[in-house]
Amino acid sequence: MTEVASPRHEFVSFLSDYGRSDEFVGVCRSVMLSLAPHLRIIDVTHDVPPHDVRSGALTLVRAAQYLPVGIILAVVDPGVGSERRCVAVETERAILIGPDNGLLAPAVAMLGGATRAVSLTNPDYRIDAPGPTFAGRDIMAPAAGFLAAGVPFEDLGEAVDPITLTPGLLPVAEIDGETVRAEVWWIDRFGNAQLNVGPEVLTDRGIAPGDPIELTIRDRGGMVRWVHTYADAKPSELVLVVDSYGLLSIALDRRSAAQEHSLLIGTEVLIAPPPPGTPRIEGATTRVSISTTRPEEDQ
């Protein structure tokens, strides 16, 4: 291995779909620490659904702005062993390492865009392996460890034009007159269903907190309220709330909106102002009726 310089990076923030039942996370952490013993490794999560690049990208972009300056290692890699590249992407705040499959792209944009990128092709900064199916251990974790130990960014491999990096595949809400065609982006462990739109879609339509909103899910709809926080909802009242990331979420107070209303990642949600003359909803139980049967197209 090439002799390295003094340490440059103190933190690696590590995200993956490896879970905790196998040794994968511990092995990757050990590889990094063997190369850079001073490292402090933050486990963002290792419970991204297996092979779900979009969920991984959403998780990473939600977390990126709160992670310490340093290195971000993200591994959700269903194409492991194929011709897809492993890359390191430099931004002003962090260096992101991962597969070039769209996983890194939203976070790179969140952090101000790529200043330069390399493909992790230099064999001096890899681990020899009997097979190609554990690139997290053999290619990406070593790259993070060597960077942390002081290896120059450009030594990791061939330069890549950032324009050629695979873009993120996150859905954009559609505007159809006064109706917004949104989508469930994420469901947290409490069952709140985050949408891919912010509160400006409501204010742009003259809707203020406390006002009724017409919400349609799977052709079933009714009026819900826009509330300030979960506790403002009455028992069994489905509401819209601006979540901690500044996006609209469908929620129930202390209950799972996703479970009780069969919401899935990717479920389409239509949002619109109420018909003229609709009275304000004073905390009444929601009139939205959502099927408890998950349709085939949402599975």
What length does the chain have?
Answer: 299
Kindly state whether residue 77 falls inside one of the protein's structural domains.
yes
Kindly state whether residue 127 falls inside one of the protein's structural domains.
yes
In a shared domain, residues 15 and 155: yes
Residue 277 pLDDT > 80, yes or no? no
Kindly state whether residue 235 falls inside one of the protein's structural domains.
yes
Kindly state whether residue 227 falls inside one of the protein's structural domains.
yes
In a shared domain, residues 102 and 208: no
Which pLDDT does position 293 carry in this prediction? 39
Write down the pTM of the prediction.
Answer: 0.82
Residue 10 pLDDT > 90, yes or no? yes
In a shared domain, residues 149 and 270: no
Q: How far apart are CA 18 and CA 31, in angstroms?
A: 15
In a shared domain, residues 156 and 191: no
Tell me which amino acid residue 40 is: R
Residue located via tokens 């199916």? 133
In a shared domain, residues 139 and 70: yes
Structure confidence by residue, pLDDT tens digits, 59-108? 999 999 999 999 999 999 999 989 899 999 999 999 999 999 999 999 99
In a shared domain, residues 179 and 288: yes
List the domain range (segments joined by +) for residue 92.
11-164
Structure confidence by residue, pLDDT tens digits, 14-38? 999 999 999 999 999 999 999 999 9
Q: How far apart are CA 233 and CA 239, in angstroms?
A: 7
CATH for 53: 3.40.50.10790
In a shared domain, residues 178 and 160: no
> Average pLDDT for residues 128-148, to the nearest whole number?
95
In a shared domain, residues 213 and 290: yes
Q: How far apart are CA 294 and CA 9, in angstroms?
A: 47
Q: Which of 142, 164, 186 is the last residue of a domain?
A: 164
For residue 250, CA distances in Å to 187, 233, 272, 292 come to 10, 11, 14, 16
Kindly state whether residue 6 falls inside one of the protein's structural domains.
no
Give me 73's structure tokens.
């290692």
CATH for 242: 2.40.30.90
CB 165 within 8 A of CB 89: yes
Kindly state whether residue 169 falls inside one of the protein's structural domains.
no
Q: Count structural domains, the chain.
A: 2
Kindly state whether residue 134 falls inside one of the protein's structural domains.
yes
Q: Which of 137, 164, 191 is the last residue of a domain?
A: 164
Q: How far apart are CA 118 and CA 293, in angstroms?
A: 47
Per-residue three-class SS string for the chain: CCCCCCCCCCEEEEEECCCCCCCHHHHHHHHHHHHCCCCEEEEEECCCCCCCHHHHHHHHHHHHCCCCCEEEEEECCCCCCCCCCEEEEECCCEEEEEECCCCCHHHHHHCCCCCEEEECCCHHHCCCCCCCCCHHHHHHHHHHHHHHHCCCHHHHCCEECHHHCCCCCCCCCEEECCEEEEEEEEECCCCCEEECCCCHHHHCCCCCCCCEEEEEECCEEEEEEEECCHHHCCCCCCEEEECCCCCEEEEECCECHHHHCCCCCCCEEEEECCCCCCCCCCCCCCCCCCCCCCCHHHC
In a shared domain, residues 97 and 144: yes
Kindly state whether residue 240 falls inside one of the protein's structural domains.
yes
Q: Which of 164, 195, 219 is the last residue of a domain?
A: 164
Which pLDDT does position 281 carry in this prediction? 57
In a shared domain, residues 39 and 155: yes
Which pLDDT does position 112 carry in this prediction? 94
Structure confidence by residue, pLDDT tens digits, 112-127? 999 999 999 999 999 9
Place 40 in a pLDDT band, splitting at 50, 70 and 90.
Answer: very high
In a shared domain, residues 94 and 149: yes
In a shared domain, residues 83 and 181: no
